[in-house]
Every structure is written in structure tokens, then in C-alpha cells.
Structure 1
């Protein structure tokens, strides 16, 4: 038995065609091959056990059959839920998904996009939280360069001129949440806002302040540990106290902590428990995203639900759309879901 892999030259000789014809037949070149010759080449490839060279296919077509997904943190259920929607559509289209996490590091994101461009993906989906300032401008320029190289790009979040985007109504969702909490009697709010230069965090914070302008805003890391550390520091400083028996927190009224992501809210709840404070009963907590986990934590978390898997699917469908004018998907709205964490 010959363990040596068959070569393209051997396939061409077996089929009785030129090397160029065999390459075009197997690697998907834009130049079409006579159907009879195509069939002969494919039959020879099967008979010899030939495996196509993915890199050769990329050269022939200008792209590979991969979709590159760039997220902030794959361990965060927000991003993994979005990725699940992208993977579903990719499977339907016969595409393979690769995922890279940037850990919300602007420099790492830039390097990732440079590497992605060299892989010649069919499409690039960026789901990481974009930053304000020059770093975000650099990323936008790199994404534009990727598009000029033949890949289709789609962003999730705020729109970028010239690039396809699936906008999310973060500001409106946070405003609706603040309204619902106010109607439930909460009058004293603390916002765990994440980094000030992250667009998603800023949009959600701004929306909440539109309705509750007196809320205290505290910045920290955009993660579960960031929520824990920020909450723990607030409790240690005495700036935030649990509700008194009459339902009041100090003299300011019923207090509620709004974390701009569910994972930050989960971290904040853990910090409360470690200090002997009962989330929901002593201090109310709300989040944003409705990741699957928060329905099962105790108490279940009040939040703004986003159709995360649907957002991912919509982004890839938009990127692959033939319509060159399809640059902006319908904005995705959130839905306020009130649960036991805000009694």
C-alpha cells in the first residue's frame, strides 16, 4: 500500500489533462472547465485519493471557505452565543469558522486583523466591543483593507461608514430598563459601567442616565472579575449600603445596581454574597444581554434580552449578501425582562 499522498501532477496525468486544467477543476478557479474534463479530473482525484490543497484553492479563488470571527472574550457567554449563530449559518453555506479573541485589547485587535487578512477568509465578522479614539480608527482602516482584498466584512454594534453592520440598540435598551426599574420604585442607582472608552459600555451607560440622570457611575473592567472588584470596592468604601428594614438604603431610597453586562452583574452578586449581603433582597441588581446563565443564578437576574444567536446569524448573512448596497441591517432591539433580582 502506498502511503504517499497523490499529487496534482499525478491526477492530471491520470485524467489525461494539463496541470492547469486539473488545478482549475479542483481548486475552484474563476475560469470554468469543460464539464466532461471536470468529471474526468474529479474521478481521477477520487481514484488516487487526492486531497485538495486549501492554500491552492485560496489562490485560485482569491478567498478560502473560512469565516473569521473576532470577539472580545470567547469565555464570555455573550460572545459565544453570537458565535453559535454565525456557526449555524456557516454550516448551512458549507463554510468553516475560525474564532479569535482580542481580550478587548486594541493593539491585539489590530494585529489580529492583519493576520486575518493574510488568511484570505470569505468573510470577517467582528463582534468585539469597539473603542473610541485612534485605535478604533486604525481597526476600521484595517477592516476596509480586508474588504479591498476580497473578503466581506460585517460588524456587530455601532455602524462604521462603508462597512456592513448589524446595529444593536444598546442605548434604547438601557433606557427602557431604567424606566422599568423606576416604575418598580427604585430611586437610587449605581451603574457599573465598564471602561469609559468602550462604545457598547458607553452607549448602555448613556441610555440608563437618560432616564436616571442622578445615577452614580463607576468604571471597571468589562468582565465578571471587573464586576466583582468594582462592587467589592464600593461595599468596602461604605459608598453603597444594603437596604434597611423599611426598604430604604440609608436616606437615598431603594438602591439598584445596574451592570452594563450580565457577566459583570454576576460578578457583582458574588461580591455582595462574600460580604454577607443578599442580592435582590438587600441590594437589587440588573444586567444587560440575557445570557443563558442568568436565568439560573439565584436570584434570577433582571436584564435586557438580546437575541444573541440571531445577531450572529444576521451578521454573517449580511456579510455574504450579494447586494452591494446592503450595508446596514435592521437595528436589533432589546427586551426588558424583570426577574427576582429586582423585587
Structure 2
């Protein structure tokens, strides 16, 4: 049986109220010798404080909820690490939920809504939505979070959303995508296939807009824009879908690299899709970058384990997580400036000397 607070109070020789003030964090602090007596008694008896009682005493649970799409995705794990680091600075613990397995009978956004409702029921001090926001948010999610904010909770999204009064950490996805496309053009690449991810996700859509607008400035259009999941499997499937349109044999070879034509580059809206594309290319016997070049976006930490090195646009992912937690947990925090990154050219897009790590 768990040790009760009344037992701690009895052993310490104090009232139940005094024991509660010491162990549950009340602003009314007993004298130092009394507090020490209570803490010693709690330690000797193995008493564990009741989190709900502490929350009532402090008007805070010391918890922050973080919603990601896929816990195994290095993009989200890097952001989560940054959130955890900053949360510890304000004495908060992170509750983590992934949405890659849909809940609520498989309805769109069901897993995210279930996670948010759980965080609200645990009375978390803040909720951070790290997954890319939908073009059209679930009305049930908007209703739940609007009430949560009205009741004093704080909500932070990565990228713009239609959630009223949510704080936002903006990422320069459009300009970063344009910069990456521009760098590839300067490398002499003139033929692109874009792996666009899901159109309904703001991050994917905005990055694709950045790619296509920069290509249009050079009077170019992508050979194809292929939509699919924002995952490695999505990149794999989308690449094979495009390759299957090129025919076979000599027809395939001519379409892949016309005589005297510029190399073909698969430009993916994130790194994990680009890695899936590389696997798909190898499955068809194609070499990277000799036959097809590849570029991604984000510069996820695990890229150092892949060869050839992937050309990408580097975002400070852990810093993004730290910013989100700071905005969520420090009420006086101001809206941070938009997060920018830098193009990193590596061997996958023909760079002879890899840049960065």
C-alpha cells in the first residue's frame, strides 16, 4: 500500500496541512527545521508526493505535452530533444505522443485529437504541436485547443496554423526551399522531379512552392510533381511511381538523361523522403549521383550515416524545439524571429567536396 501523507505528518509530528505545504509546494513555507523534519519523514517512509495535489498547490502540473508525427523520425526526435532541454530549464517534464498511427476509428487527425485531449485531461501547462499543420484543421481540434487556451493553457505550433490564439514558431520553409533550388541550378542542374509529400500539409506545400517559384525564375518547370506520404516509404513509392512513367530499355535511358541534357535531380520536400528516393533508385540499378542526383530538406542528424552524403537545406532542429518550449513555458516570451537555415551541398547532387558534417 502507498504511504499516505497522514503517516508522514504523524512521524514528523506536524499537522496534515503543514506536511502538505512542505511536500506539495505551497507558497506558505513552514520554518526550515519543520520542513526538514517533514522531508526526512517522507524519505524514511518512502512517501511519493501526489502529483494532483502538487498541481493544486502550485497552480501548475509541471508538464508539457508534445505532439509529433512519427517518434522514430530523426526530424521529430531532434526537435523533441530541444523541447526536453528547454523544458528542464523551467522544471517541466515532457509528455510525448506520436500521430503516425491514426486513432478515433481511423478518422483524419484522430490520433492528434486523442493526444491533445489526453494532455488537456492531465492539465499540462502547455501543448506543443510539432507535426506540420493541416491546410484545413480539424474543427474538433480547434474547439478543444481554443477552450484549453481560454482556461489558461498555452499552445505552440511549428509553422502557421488556423488555431486561434496559438503561438507560432515560424520556419522559413519557402525561402529555404528557394535557396536550395537556386544552389542546385548553380550546380548546372536543369531537370527536376519534385517529391512533394502530402499537399494538405502546410510544410510540404510551402516548400514545394519555394522550389517551383525559384525554378520558374529560371524559366524552368519540374518534369513532375509527385505527391505521397511525408516519410521514407513515401519517397520510395513516389520515386518508383515516376520511374515507371519513363518506359523501359532505350526509352528509359533517353528519358532519364537525354544526349547533351542536364542531369536529372530528385528534389524531395524532406530528408526522409530523399533517403527513400535513394533506396528506390538503387533498387532499379541506378547510381547516385552519376545517373540521378538527389536533394532533401532539414539536415536530420542521421544523414552522417548515409552514402553518398545528401545535399539538403540545414535547419537548426534542436534550436527549433528549444524555441517552441521557451515560447510555451515562459509567459513573458516574445514571438521569436522566423528560423532560417543554410544550403549544404554534398555528393548526392554532384558536389565534389562535401560541405558541413
**TM superposition score normalised by structure 2:** 0.86
Moved more, 265-274 or 51-60: 51-60
TM-superposed CA distance for 1:184, in Å, is 1.2
- Once residues 139 and 284 of structure 1 are traced to their aligned partners in structure 2, the CA distance between those partners, rounded to angstroms, is 40
Moved more, 19-28 or 36-45: 36-45
Q: Does the aligned pair in 2 maintain the 1:287–1:301 contact within 8 Å? A: yes
TM-superposed CA distance for 1:244, in Å, is 6.3
TM-superposed CA distance for 1:321, in Å, is 1.4
1:77 partnered with 2:74: yes
1:60 partnered with 2:60: no
- Per the alignment, residue 238 of structure 2 pairs with 230
Deviations 1:59-115 (A, max 9, x none): 333432222211010111000011111122233443322211011851211121011
1:181 partnered with 2:190: no
- Per the alignment, residue 33 of structure 1 pairs with 29
1:221 partnered with 2:229: yes
- Structure 2: unaligned runs, 5 residues or longer: 103-107, 351-357
Which of 184, 201, 205 in structure 2 is aligned with 1:202? 205
Q: Does the aligned pair in 2 maintain the 1:242–1:277 contact within 8 Å? A: no
Q: Secondary structure at the match of 1:331?
A: coil
- Structure 1: unaligned runs, 5 residues or longer: none
- Once residues 295 and 155 of structure 1 are traced to their aligned partners in structure 2, the CA distance between those partners, rounded to angstroms, is 28
- Per the alignment, residue 288 of structure 2 pairs with 279
1:168 partnered with 2:177: no
Deviations 1:28-64 (A, max 9, x none): 24x5233344444333323433211123222333432
1:242-257 mapped onto 2 (5 Å cutoff) = 248-249=257-258, 253-257=262-266
- Per the alignment, residue 342 of structure 1 pairs with 349
Q: Does the aligned pair in 2 maintain the 1:243–1:254 contact within 8 Å? A: no
Q: Does the aligned pair in 2 maintain the 1:191–1:258 contact within 8 Å? A: yes
1:239–1:120 CA distance, 2 compared to 1 (3 A): farther
Q: Does the aligned pair in 1 maintain the 2:87–2:329 contact within 8 Å? A: no
Q: Does the aligned pair in 1 maintain the 2:156–2:328 contact within 8 Å? A: yes
TM-superposed CA distance for 1:272, in Å, is 0.5
- Once residues 113 and 6 of structure 1 are traced to their aligned partners in structure 2, the CA distance between those partners, rounded to angstroms, is 32
1:192 partnered with 2:199: no
**TM superposition score normalised by structure 1:** 0.89
Q: Secondary structure at the match of 1:231?
A: helix
1:117 partnered with 2:126: no
Q: Secondary structure at the match of 2:349?
A: coil
1:205–1:158 CA distance, 2 compared to 1 (3 A): same
Give the RMSD, CA atoms, in angstroms: 2.5
1:328 partnered with 2:335: yes
- Once residues 42 and 307 of structure 2 are traced to their aligned partners in structure 1, the CA distance between those partners, rounded to angstroms, is 58
1:294 partnered with 2:279: no
1:148–1:110 CA distance, 2 compared to 1 (3 A): same
- Once residues 168 and 143 of structure 1 are traced to their aligned partners in structure 2, the CA distance between those partners, rounded to angstroms, is 22
Moved more, 16-25 or 121-130: 16-25
Q: Does the aligned pair in 2 maintain the 1:162–1:327 contact within 8 Å? A: no
Q: Does the aligned pair in 1 maintain the 2:295–2:310 contact within 8 Å? A: yes
